[in-house]
């Protein structure tokens, strides 16, 4: 196994994840098979309990792993399916070491960070790296490892030490270190400053790791003499100093790397030049250029709880982008804090209330994404009602589907207090209830997580057609509550149809309102499997409906073209 380690220096938020995945893309384009590992030095075992407000979305994998959103970048860029083990955290490592300690596996020895934690890290990396993630058999050729955080952080020290040992044990030809750094420009002098990078490389070297390549983030392209300085002071050949300057969209990054022959430097270090071909990146070039040249846009109202931080819904935003690009449109996302739509807000923050409603009315479609807790639920119900009554295309994802059931039960069935037990455990009309797959009383692990099958009940519905008339779909889940089977009969009689169900027939997975041009709710999260060149069927449906092209599209599809 060959490793490419990507570390970061100077500041966080440099786009290390995008850089690492782009390196993967370029190497993949050279004909190599790539896998990836993200190391998060935080103590959480996984991202499952982390707030999207603070850390961005929790990405969900096929195997039910709740992981850092960077894994989403890897899946989208490399078109792979990762496992929960591809996200290594301090919490996971300590948990495994402590479990071994309790079992007495260390035979009376003092258990220490070095060597026990560092050994566990190395073992974990080596065993995860060989898991095939691209649908083929056998291990990949190269494993790209991204070390989260910034070099010098206290919590990343054991990882740095373990990676140093790994680099030594796998040998020179099998290890390539790319250090991502920042080249700031000071306003007054206008000069590209190399000192922060020098310091962070020095820090890395003091810890026993020498970067083979530098990936320098900057606003403008690097000047030749900045590169020379970096090369001289950081001990990195000029040809290995890459520059990732600001680009109009992230799909340019693999192209930028290829244009600077990053692949040649990396392949040379890894002694892979003989095996690799010239990188074929036509698809990326086309996507990046198409995106740059889009002129028309479509307004999408995203009504959610965590709208302050766009990373909270990163995969939803990406899925919208993929769908829009497929329709030659630029997504124009209008973020609406659901609570601003509520009547209370009209009294307390009238301006925000008025703006939220105006934004909603100006949108071509409405999307209510997943979420937990009751904040903003009333506003989401109002948004779903608005979309249903005004025949505005609506896509409700997970919580968004449950919202549409509550709204329909209240407005159409006249069950005024209909609710989900998540928000009101005493409601007389629990249309959404706690339905764990395991035991109801068993503590923990009550979330329904990961890929599950949804069977279409009829081919004669929009969603089935969008999914190319497949008999079933496999999408990823992350929820505890579900539509109450006792209400299905009456909801369906009144027009809300559950066209997708799980294999037992008890869990409602897809709903549609056939009298509406596009009113779709799904209990799963289609955003996690959307890919740049393969947009999610449902997001595509939403955008097509928002721009009046859905019928024609479905018609064309029916005719087999």
Residue 327 annotated to the active site: no
Residue 527 annotated to the active site: yes
Phi-psi region of 541 (alpha: psi -120 to 50; beta: other; left: phi over 0): alpha
- Of 254 and 400, the one with the shorter C-beta distance to ligand GLN is 400
**Which one of 327, 365, 398, 461 is the catalytic residue?**
398
Residue 398 annotated to the active site: yes
Q: Please report, to the nearest 10 degrees, the dihedral formed by the alpha carbons of residues 48, 51, 53, 55 taken in order.
A: -60
Q: Which residues bind ligand GLN (CB under 6 A)?
A: 370-372, 398-399, 422, 478-481
Shortest Å distance, C-beta 133 to ligand GLN: 24
CA atoms of 76 and 282, how far apart (whole Å): 17
CA atoms of 274 and 30, how far apart (whole Å): 11
Q: Which residue is nearest to ligand GLN (CB)?
A: 370
- Of 116 and 448, the one with the shorter C-beta distance to ligand GLN is 448
DSSP, res 510: E
CA atoms of 372 and 370, how far apart (whole Å): 7
Shortest Å distance, C-beta 436 to ligand GLN: 10
Shortest Å distance, C-beta 372 to ligand GLN: 4
- Of 141 and 422, the one with the shorter C-beta distance to ligand GLN is 422
Shortest Å distance, C-beta 398 to ligand GLN: 3
**Which one of 212, 252, 477, 525 is the catalytic residue?**
525
- Of 370 and 500, the one with the shorter C-beta distance to ligand GLN is 370
- Of 353 and 525, the one with the shorter C-beta distance to ligand GLN is 525
Is the backbone peptide bond immediately before 550 cis, with ω within 30 degrees of 0?
A: no
**Which one of 66, 146, 475, 527 is the catalytic residue?**
527
CA atoms of 285 and 485, how far apart (whole Å): 48
Shortest Å distance, C-beta 434 to ligand GLN: 8
Q: Give alpha helix (H) positions in 171-207.
A: 195-206
Q: Where are the beta strands (DSSP E) in 219-293?
A: 241-245
Contact 7, 151 (CB under 8 A): yes
Shortest Å distance, C-beta 423 to ligand GLN: 9
- Of 252 and 478, the one with the shorter C-beta distance to ligand GLN is 478
**Helix and strand counts by DSSP (H, E) for the chain:** 20, 21
Structure tokens belonging to residue 166: 């790994």
Contacts 24+ apart (CB under 8 A), 355-362: 359/301, 359/334, 360/301, 360/303, 360/334, 360/336, 360/386, 361/386, 362/299, 362/334
What is the set of active-site residues?
A: 398, 525, 527
């Amino acid at each position: 196994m060959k490793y490419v380690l990507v570390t970061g220096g100077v500041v966080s938020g440099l786009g290390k994840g995008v850089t690492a995945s782009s390196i993967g893309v370029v190497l993949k384009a050279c004909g190599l098979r790539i896998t990836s590992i993200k190391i998060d030095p935080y103590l959480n075992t996984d991202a499952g309990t982390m707030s999207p407000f603070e850390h961005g979305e929790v990405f969900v994998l096929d195997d039910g792993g709740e992981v850092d959103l960077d894994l989403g970048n890897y899946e989208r860029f490399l078109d792979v399916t990762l496992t929960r083990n591809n996200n290594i955290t301090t919490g996971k490592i300590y948990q495994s070491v402590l479990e071994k300690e309790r079992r007495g596996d260390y035979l009376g020895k003092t258990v220490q960070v070095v060597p026990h934690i560092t050994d566990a890290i190395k073992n974990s990396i080596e065993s995860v790296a060989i898991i095939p993630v691209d649908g083929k058999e056998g291990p990949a050729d190269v494993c790209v490892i991204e070390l989260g955080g910034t070099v010098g952080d206290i919590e990343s020290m054991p990882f740095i030490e373990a990676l140093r040992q790994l680099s030594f044990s796998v040998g020179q030809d099998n290890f390539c270190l790319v250090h991502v750094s920042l080249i700031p420009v000071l306003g007054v002098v206008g000069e590209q400053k190399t000192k922060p990078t020098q310091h962070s490389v020095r820090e890395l070297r003091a810890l026993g790791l020498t970067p083979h390549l530098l990936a320098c983030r900057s606003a403008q392209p690097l000047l030749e003499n900045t590169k020379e300085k970096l090369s001289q002071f950081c001990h990195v050949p000029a040809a290995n100093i890459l520059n990732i300057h600001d680009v109009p969209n992230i799909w340019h990054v693999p192209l930028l790397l290829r244009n600077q022959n990053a692949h040649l430097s990396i392949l040379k270090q890894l002694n892979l030049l003989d095996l690799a071909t010239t990188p074929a990146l036509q698809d990326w070039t086309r996507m990046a250029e198409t995106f740059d040249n889009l002129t028309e846009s479509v307004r999408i109202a995203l009504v959610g709880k965590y709208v302050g931080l766009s990373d909270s819904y990163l995969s939803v935003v990406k899925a919208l982008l993929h769908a829009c690009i497929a329709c030659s449109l630029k997504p124009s996302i209008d973020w609406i804090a659901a609570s601003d739509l509520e009547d209370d807000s009209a009294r307390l923050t009238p301006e925000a209330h008025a703006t939220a409603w105006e934004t909603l009315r100006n949108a071509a479609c409405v999307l209510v994404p997943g979420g937990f807790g009751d904040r903003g639920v009333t506003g989401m119900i109002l948004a779903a009602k608005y979309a249903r009554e005004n025949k505005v295309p609506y896509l409700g994802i997970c919580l968004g589907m449950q919202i549409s059931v509550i709204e329909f039960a209240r407005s159409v069935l006249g069950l005024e207090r209909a609710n989900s037990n998540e928000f009101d455990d005493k409601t007389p009309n629990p249309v959404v209830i706690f339905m764990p797959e395991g035991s109801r009383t068993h503590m923990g692990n009550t979330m329904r997580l990961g890929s599950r099958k949804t069977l279409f009940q009829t081919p004669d519905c929009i969603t089935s057609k969008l999914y190319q008339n497949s008999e079933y779909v496999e999408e990823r889940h992350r929820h505890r509550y579900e539509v109450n089977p006792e209400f299905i009969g009456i909801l369906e009689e009144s027009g809300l149809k559950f066209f997708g169900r799980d294999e037992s027939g008890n869990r409602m997975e897809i709903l549609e309102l056939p009298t509406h041009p596009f009113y779709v709710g799904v209990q799963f999260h289609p955003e996690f499997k959307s890919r740049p060149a393969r947009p999610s069927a449902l997001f595509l449906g939403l955008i097509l409906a928002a721009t009046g092209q859905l019928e024609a599209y479905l018609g064309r599809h029916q005719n087999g073209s």
